[in-house]
Structure 1
Amino acid sequence: MSSNTPIPYPFEWTPVMEVPGRLRGLHERAQVDVRLPSGDTAVMVTRYKDVRSLFADSRLSKNIARPGMARVSKDNDLFVDPKIDGDPPHHTAMRGLVTRAFTARRIERLRPFAQSVTDELLDAMEAGPKPADLNEALAFPLPILVICKLLGVPPEDRDKFRGLVDGFLSVSKLPPEEVEECRKGLWSYLADLIVAKRADPGDDLIGSLIKIRDEDDNRLSDYELHHWTQSLLIAGYVTTASQIGTGTAVLLHRRDLFEEVKADPSLVESAVEELLRTQIMGSSIGTLRYALTDIELSDGSVIKEGSSVLLSEEGANTDGSVFKDPFTIDIRRKENHHMTFGAGIHYCVGAALARMELQVATETLLRRFPDVRLAVPAEELPRGLGGFMEGFSEVPVTW
């Protein structure tokens, strides 16, 4: 192993509005030992070069339902599913089928819808009381309504599935029996939805996946169809919601950055990318792998066969050999090839959707509310500790 004393992970969020200070100096070694919320230890890979290459390395397996494998949570299996093959060639084939339905054209067609939803949500916020919680006013309902539209989930079910997803993603926040109830409830809800969609197919992503399931020679199994629907629903909602709320809070705290983007809306795109790079909304605890053999890293150290491996996106994103002044939020940063969406065959299928929603939300908020500001000191913003995402659970704003 790479060190004698494992570092508690996720890292503490200090300072409040910056990348965790624990990342400073982490890149002196290509790997360090970390202790996960479950109490298990894993090897964290820290350097950009290693993280990027290992995302596509067949010597690391995503099939982690193995004896002795570290777990993120002692009470929740999270994304561990022994019935789903997460490695090539099967994963590559299944991902190819899903990306056929998840096209760039379909995503771009959603931009006007995302804009209209954002406008309506901000209309309601403007008409409501001050201060308002930006999470409940915009950050969470926007991606929920967009993913409902994309997948074909009835919008009236959004509160129901939000509660189920939050339970599904509990790391230590909820007791195990409540986690299991949410996991079963979400699976059952989606099973009923797929049956309804098969009986009355529409022009939505679930309908497209059902068509692929029923007609393609390399078709998805019923279980894989169900699994991918669940994965897209979760990924398309919670990560983007957390990033909208927490990334916006950073901009409101850093008034110099806020004023810069407000004065030049063309900076929205690069600001969104830089806030994604700094990844203040959460950690990368979902990227555990299993080492099938010994693997040598850039500093000559070796990940031992059988190790549980964590590919640190935030470590890669703060690697000074790739990013100049990596702990500085630079909204004009060029060539920002951050690792927040992963890389290679495991690059996030929904990256384009997330970027579109983040751009729409940021541009519209700053244009509609040029005087918006945090209603409490940044140090008082509460984090949603104990969940898969650890962004701010409330973002009170006024204007």
Structure 2
Amino acid sequence: MSSSSTPVSYPFAWDPPLAVPDRWRDLRDRSLVEVQLPSGDTALLVTRYRDVRALFSDRRLSRNTARYPTSRISPNNDLFGDPEIDSDPPRYLDERAIVTRAFSARRLEALRPLVWQVAGELMDAMDAGPRPADLMEAFAFPLPIRIICHMLGVPPGDNDRFRALVDGFMSVTKMSAEDVERCRAGLWSYLDELIEAHRAAPGDDLISELIRVNTTDPNALSDYQLQHWVRTLLIAGYVTTASQIGTSMAVLLNQPHIVEELRQDFSLVPGAVEELLRFQLMGASLGSLRYALADIELSDGAVVPAGSTVMLSVESNMDDTVFENPFELDIRRTENHHMTFGSGIHYCAGAALARMELQVSTEGLLRRYPKLRLAVPKEELARPAGGFLAAFSAVPVDW
């Protein structure tokens, strides 16, 4: 347990909005920190990179948080807890294998021209629209939602409906329990209809491919499990990437010397994307919630007690025993094995897609707009309260 007598409020406050929270700077003084979640419940935050990396694959930590007396993230929303889904090995690995086969590197790389096309269309619309433009609404949100909906075969006319349902599903304290349930039920119903439509008329899309793989696999998914994975891919392929695009550009535009370095050599973009992912100025560790099935000893001898709610800290990306000068944005950093996409058996299945979209977004915006800049002082960038992610509500830009 933490030696602190009072749990620390979590997520940590972003104040000022473009600076790493002060709490991050001394976080690794203890390997475990007791935190208070938005629900009022407490959890143990594992802070050090070495421990976090090991625990991502430790089967004594369960992701089946709806089956155990795990602390709640939200007072109004169960979020990702689902007693009908087994998120632990071995069942999880069987299901993940089905999804991974459909979500192949070949399929993803073939999407790159489409990502460039969509990025170009969105920038055309920015040119024709009012200035300053809100980069979140004009670019960061529509790009990944259009790509993931294309991949999964969601009709383009349904994109806005889907986005509204997902925003409600991801509420922590922003919406009432009644509004959350309305969005949850609407999302479930919509996805059931979508899967049945693809079952009746298969196409060259990811849902149809999942259905095909599923019918030939000895560990086939149930209809409910299939819907769960489609929902997971839709959410992961949209909201996290959109948040990272907007936040990354805000961070870059606040450091014009780095922007100029990229413009002089766009081959640096992939490394810059990795460094911006490590910097992780758009989220917290709420999605890593686990339940300890047994006592677990950490590298310094501290023990996670059985029955604890545990979070694996994305803030471990700032561990100075792994990353030199971790609080500096270094786009030439090498060996950047950050924890932003998880690790081991729980490594994000959509990581390659997110990377590609971030690379195209970063290069595309900097090429198209040589004078792109924040249109408000950085102190005026606002982070919305009550959502699952802490991306900016708006990123006003001009060029």
Deviation sequence 1:150-178 (CA, Å, 0-9, x none)? 11111111000000000000000011100
List gaps (5 residues or longer) in structure 1.
none
| Alpha-carbon separation, structure 1, partners of 2:151 and 2:22 | 38
- State the AA in 2 paired with 1:300: G
The more displaced of 384-393 and 9-18 is: 9-18
CA contact (8 A) 1:213 1:220 kept: yes
Deviation sequence 1:166-210 (CA, Å, 0-9, x none)? 000000001110000000000100000011000100011100111
Tell me which residue corresponds to 1:342.
342
Tell me which residue corresponds to 2:231.
230
| Alpha-carbon separation, structure 2, partners of 1:217 and 1:296 | 37
| Alpha-carbon separation, structure 1, partners of 2:154 and 2:69 | 38
Residue 123 (structure 1) aligned with residue 120 (structure 2): no
Written as runs of structure 1 = structure 2, the 5 A alignment for 1:172-321 is: 172-314=173-315, 316-321=316-321
| Alpha-carbon separation, structure 1, partners of 2:128 and 2:375 | 17
Tell me which residue corresponds to 1:79.
80
CA contact (8 A) 1:13 1:19 kept: yes
CA contact (8 A) 2:17 2:383 kept: no
| Alpha-carbon separation, structure 2, partners of 1:376 and 1:285 | 30
| Alpha-carbon separation, structure 1, partners of 2:68 and 2:146 | 40
TM-score, structure 1 as length reference: 0.98
Tell me which residue corresponds to 2:365.
365
The total of aligned residue pairs comes to: 398
CA contact (8 A) 1:213 1:222 kept: no
| Alpha-carbon separation, structure 1, partners of 2:329 and 2:85 | 38
How far residue 28 of structure 1 moved from its aligned partner, in angstroms, is 1.3
1:260 aligned counterpart, secondary structure: helix
Residue 322 (structure 1) aligned with residue 325 (structure 2): no
Runs of 4+ in 1 over 3 A off after TM superposition: none
Tell me which residue corresponds to 1:147.
148
CA contact (8 A) 2:17 2:382 kept: no
How far residue 344 of structure 1 moved from its aligned partner, in angstroms, is 0.6
TM-score, structure 2 as length reference: 0.98
Written as runs of structure 1 = structure 2, the 5 A alignment for 1:49-128 is: 49-66=50-67, 68-128=69-129
How far residue 384 of structure 1 moved from its aligned partner, in angstroms, is 1.9
- State the AA in 2 paired with 1:393: S
List gaps (5 residues or longer) in structure 2.
none
| Percentage of matched positions with identical amino acids | 64
Deviation sequence 1:332-361 (CA, Å, 0-9, x none)? 111110000000111000000000000001
| Alpha-carbon separation, structure 2, partners of 1:62 and 1:191 | 24
- State the AA in 1 paired with 2:332: R
| Alpha-carbon separation, structure 1, partners of 2:282 and 2:66 | 28
Residue 160 (structure 1) aligned with residue 129 (structure 2): no
| Alpha-carbon separation, structure 2, partners of 1:175 and 1:345 | 34
How far residue 105 of structure 1 moved from its aligned partner, in angstroms, is 0.5
The more displaced of 7-16 and 366-375 is: 7-16
- State the AA in 2 paired with 1:160: R
Tell me which residue corresponds to 1:333.
333
CA contact (8 A) 1:29 1:299 kept: no
- State the AA in 1 paired with 2:351: A
CA contact (8 A) 1:62 1:87 kept: yes
- State the AA in 2 paired with 1:302: V
How far residue 214 of structure 1 moved from its aligned partner, in angstroms, is 2.1
The more displaced of 59-68 and 370-379 is: 59-68
| Alpha-carbon separation, structure 2, partners of 1:18 and 1:333 | 20
Residue 11 (structure 1) aligned with residue 12 (structure 2): yes
Tell me which residue corresponds to 2:376.
376
| Alpha-carbon separation, structure 1, partners of 2:354 and 2:68 | 35
CA contact (8 A) 2:297 2:303 kept: yes
How far residue 128 of structure 1 moved from its aligned partner, in angstroms, is 1.3
1:236 aligned counterpart, secondary structure: helix
- State the AA in 1 paired with 2:100: T
Deviation sequence 1:43-69 (CA, Å, 0-9, x none)? 000000000000000111111124531
How far residue 216 of structure 1 moved from its aligned partner, in angstroms, is 1.6
CA contact (8 A) 2:38 2:75 kept: yes
How far residue 16 of structure 1 moved from its aligned partner, in angstroms, is 2.1
| Alpha-carbon separation, structure 2, partners of 1:281 and 1:396 | 17
| Alpha-carbon separation, structure 2, partners of 1:363 and 1:217 | 43
CA contact (8 A) 1:212 1:220 kept: no
| Alpha-carbon separation, structure 2, partners of 1:279 and 1:305 | 30
Compared CA separation, residues 222 and 66, structure 1 to 2 (3 A)? closer
Tell me which residue corresponds to 1:391.
391
| Alpha-carbon separation, structure 2, partners of 1:263 and 1:126 | 23
- State the AA in 2 paired with 1:213: N
1:220 aligned counterpart, secondary structure: coil
Give the CA RMSD over aligned residues.
0.9
- State the AA in 2 paired with 1:47: R
Deviation sequence 1:58-87 (CA, Å, 0-9, x none)? 111111124531010010000000100011
How far residue 383 of structure 1 moved from its aligned partner, in angstroms, is 0.8
- State the AA in 2 paired with 1:343: S
